[in-house]
A and B are shown apart, each in its own frame.
Chain A
Amino acid sequence: MSKQTQRKSMDYVKKEYKRTRTMPANWYLSSYEYKFNITHMQPFLKKLKEKKLVANKCSGCNRVFFPPRLVCGKCLVKPDRWVDIRDTARVATYAIAYLKDENSEVQEKPMVLVHHDGADTSSIAELAPGVDVKDTYISMPIKAHWKDNPEGGLMDIEYYDLMDDDAEDLNESK
């Protein structure tokens, strides 16, 4: 990417930075509004309402970011193209956290990083209730389970359903 394009795209970031979402926060001295930029994911959130997934793509390194990013970490420019991605995914990696609830009973909280087909990044998600995370394995195929009435947020994907792994019985060891 030429320097001119780079400068142009950085200006673009600066100009659009005014459109932000605010979040109330409290400090014991006062309360204030915390502002952060959401411009870069507005088209993405709109498409979520239609149960469609889109991601943005950096023209410098051709990586596809899901969820969309404001700035590409490698090229330091704004990803400027939008691409479709599938709602099927694979388990990138997983872990289980152990937390105490109100009754001080230890509860398992599984955490999974999912890698959507067609994307180059992974994001934190949950598997369907009733799935034992210890039975999962890396690169297990899964599919997004949508909420009935999507509101335009990442929580519209409630959890990920398991898919049939046709190739699994061909492998002797996972």
Chain B
Amino acid sequence: MGRQVAIVSAGYSEHASKRSDVSMPELVNEAIEDCLAKVPSVELKDIDAFVNGNMPAFEGSNIPELWMTDWMGARNKPLMRVTTGGTTGGSVAISGYYTVTAGIPGIDTVLAIAFEQQSQGDTSVGLASVAYGEISILNSLGISYDQLNRLLSAGAAIGVAAYQATTYMSKANITEEDLARVVVQNRRNAAKTWWAHLKMPDLTIADVLDTPYVQYPLRYGMVCPASDGAVAMLFTTEEKAKDMCDIPVYVNGVASVANETAVLGYDGSGSAQLDPSEQLGAMKSADLAYSQAGISFPRKEIDYAEVYAPFPNQELMWVEKLGLFEETTAPEMYETGVTAHKGELPVNCSGGVNSTNAIAASAMERPSEAALQIMGKASNQVPKTVHTSIGSGWGGSLNLITLMAMSDEPKRKWK
């Protein structure tokens, strides 16, 4: 039986499209300093182990965790690197949780760090390794290279997301205006968050609809930016957490569920998901995490949600699939302000991935922001008292979903 785990602090570096003023280790160090500043009794020497992660090949340097060992304070201490593509952050947070709950002698306090400096590397080089495999597969089916429009969905997440958007829009019977409304809420929230990237306090729906299409039905104004940034989270045991901070946040449920491939499928043989917005993986992960955390009525019991949504249609989709709203009712909730900052169930008050996307870090910013909202230390703190919150993550071509359910009471149910 594992130990109850608590989050005591989380910290961010400043996010921008090009952080050329700092190198990668300095960026990570910024986040760690912000994290440790919130818990004055903890120093670097009190941390027993480190978990680290970023999207491989996006930063342009090999094994970056060894380069930044001293900048994290990890010399002569256990260090692990986790990479799972788009959900790296979510997986790093879950690994941090498991490192503590495993009960290894001498390892009580774990620092989890996720970072990305996309301006130093080339993301298309990183994605080429994904795309090349798919190109060769299509070649085996007799599709020639000049038929490039058949390859456009290879690799990048927007190819997957555009299909999800079309299906969701036809299912929920909504227009692009409803998508733009989600973007406006996110970017206005981001303006109140000190570390966010795209801060647009005066954005309107008309402004978003005025931009050209990137991929129908998604417009340039709806798509997430590419940011540089880092995030750090401090995990520890229940006993130690009470000495470290006033309101420790207990991790009650974690889940990580993948589905079959999204568009091209295994060996280029098509997708077995005829409805891309069905997302069985999200429903399964919600089922797992909520049953561990003892949440029976997600809509009533969850006070705050951070969902991983680079594209606005996904935010609508996830809040439904994670059990917060009924099917196809999410657009209505955004219209009536239920999900707004002062609403009944605030969603993505940090601005979400839609405003800040440092690939690996963004999936970890979701649970960390959800934890800070419970502690009352978040940058854009919601007016209502938050007792239970969730933070999710999503990764492109395999639809990998990570989910973490947190509360201010320890009530992990072991199965």
A63 located at the interface, meaning its Cβ lies under 8 Å from any Cβ of chain B in the complex: yes
Residues of chain B within 8 A of A96, CB atoms compared: 213, 215-216
- Residues 115 to 174 of chain A near chain B (Cβ within 8 Å): 115, 120-126, 133-134, 137-138, 151-156, 173-174
| Distance from A143 Cβ to chain B, minimum over Cβ atoms (Å) | 18
A82 located at the interface, meaning its Cβ lies under 8 Å from any Cβ of chain B in the complex: no
B44 located at the interface, meaning its Cβ lies under 8 Å from any Cβ of chain A in the complex: no
Q: Is the CB of A93 within 8 A of B136?
A: no
Q: Which residue of A lies closest to B260 (CB)?
A: A73
- Residues 58 to 79 of chain A near chain B (Cβ within 8 Å): 63, 65-71, 73-74
Q: Is the CB of A122 within 8 A of B274?
A: yes
Residues of chain B within 8 A of A122, CB atoms compared: 270-271, 274
- Residues 115 to 129 of chain B near chain A (Cβ within 8 Å): none
- Residues 243 to 271 of chain B near chain A (Cβ within 8 Å): 260-261, 263-271
Q: Is the CB of A97 within 8 A of B141?
A: no
Q: How far is the CA of A10 from the CA of B150 in the complex (A)?
A: 31
B140 located at the interface, meaning its Cβ lies under 8 Å from any Cβ of chain A in the complex: yes
The 4 closest A-B pairs by CB, nearest first: A153-B142, A95-B162, A123-B270, A96-B216
- Residues 334 to 382 of chain B near chain A (Cβ within 8 Å): none
B201 located at the interface, meaning its Cβ lies under 8 Å from any Cβ of chain A in the complex: no
B143 located at the interface, meaning its Cβ lies under 8 Å from any Cβ of chain A in the complex: yes
A95 touching B141 in the complex, CB below 8 Å, given contacts A74-B260, A121-B270, A123-B270: no
Q: How far is the CA of A148 from the CA of B415 in the complex (A)?
A: 61
Q: Which residue of B lies closest to A35 (CB)?
A: B136
Residues of chain B within 8 A of A156, CB atoms compared: 142
B193 located at the interface, meaning its Cβ lies under 8 Å from any Cβ of chain A in the complex: no
Q: Is the CB of B268 within 8 A of A95?
A: no
A92 located at the interface, meaning its Cβ lies under 8 Å from any Cβ of chain B in the complex: yes
Residues of chain B within 8 A of A124, CB atoms compared: 150, 153, 263-264, 270
Residue of B136, B147, B159, B260 near A155 (CB, 8 A) is B147
Residues of chain B within 8 A of A151, CB atoms compared: 142
Q: Is the CB of A45 within 8 A of B149?
A: no
A23 located at the interface, meaning its Cβ lies under 8 Å from any Cβ of chain B in the complex: yes
Q: Which residue of B lies closest to A139 (CB)?
A: B170
Residues of chain B within 8 A of A99, CB atoms compared: 149, 152
- Residues 265 to 309 of chain B near chain A (Cβ within 8 Å): 265-272, 274-276
Which of B147, B214, B261, B272 lies at the interface centre, i.e. has the most chain A CB atoms within 10 A of its CB? B272
Q: Is the CB of A67 within 8 A of B166?
A: no
A36 touching B137 in the complex, CB below 8 Å, given contacts A98-B213, A155-B144: yes
Residues of chain B within 8 A of A113, CB atoms compared: 163, 263, 270-271
Q: How far is the CA of A73 from the CA of B165 in the complex (A)?
A: 24
A109 located at the interface, meaning its Cβ lies under 8 Å from any Cβ of chain B in the complex: yes
| Distance from A43 Cβ to chain B, minimum over Cβ atoms (Å) | 14
Q: How far is the CA of A92 from the CA of B166 in the complex (A)?
A: 10
Residues of chain A within 8 A of B267, CB atoms compared: 36-37, 40, 69-70
Q: How many residues of A contact B (CB 8 A)?
A: 53
Give the bracket for the number of chain B residues in contact with chain A: 35 or more
Q: Is the CB of A69 within 8 A of B274?
A: no
Residues of chain A within 8 A of B270, CB atoms compared: 65-67, 113, 121-124
Q: Is the CB of A70 within 8 A of B266?
A: yes
| Distance from B214 Cβ to chain A, minimum over Cβ atoms (Å) | 7
Residues of chain B within 8 A of A17, CB atoms compared: none
A154 touching B260 in the complex, CB below 8 Å, given contacts A69-B266, A122-B274: no
B41 located at the interface, meaning its Cβ lies under 8 Å from any Cβ of chain A in the complex: no
Residues of chain A within 8 A of B136, CB atoms compared: 23, 25, 34, 36
Q: Is the CB of B162 within 8 A of A121?
A: no
Q: Is the CB of A155 within 8 A of B142?
A: yes
Q: Which residue of B lies closest to A156 (CB)?
A: B142
B173 located at the interface, meaning its Cβ lies under 8 Å from any Cβ of chain A in the complex: yes
Q: Is the CB of B142 within 8 A of A95?
A: no
| Distance from A82 Cβ to chain B, minimum over Cβ atoms (Å) | 14
Residues of chain A within 8 A of B217, CB atoms compared: 95
Residue of B144, B152, B213, B271 near A121 (CB, 8 A) is B271
- Residues 154 to 184 of chain B near chain A (Cβ within 8 Å): 159, 162-163, 165-167, 170, 173
Residues of chain A within 8 A of B266, CB atoms compared: 69-71, 73
B383 located at the interface, meaning its Cβ lies under 8 Å from any Cβ of chain A in the complex: no
Residues of chain B within 8 A of A37, CB atoms compared: 267
Q: Which residue of B lies closest to A45 (CB)?
A: B142
Q: How far is the CA of A38 from the CA of B137 in the complex (A)?
A: 9
| Distance from A138 Cβ to chain B, minimum over Cβ atoms (Å) | 5
A111 touching B167 in the complex, CB below 8 Å, given contacts A69-B267, A153-B141, A156-B142: no
Q: Which residue of B lies closest to A114 (CB)?
A: B270
A69 touching B269 in the complex, CB below 8 Å, given contacts A34-B136, A97-B215, A153-B141: yes
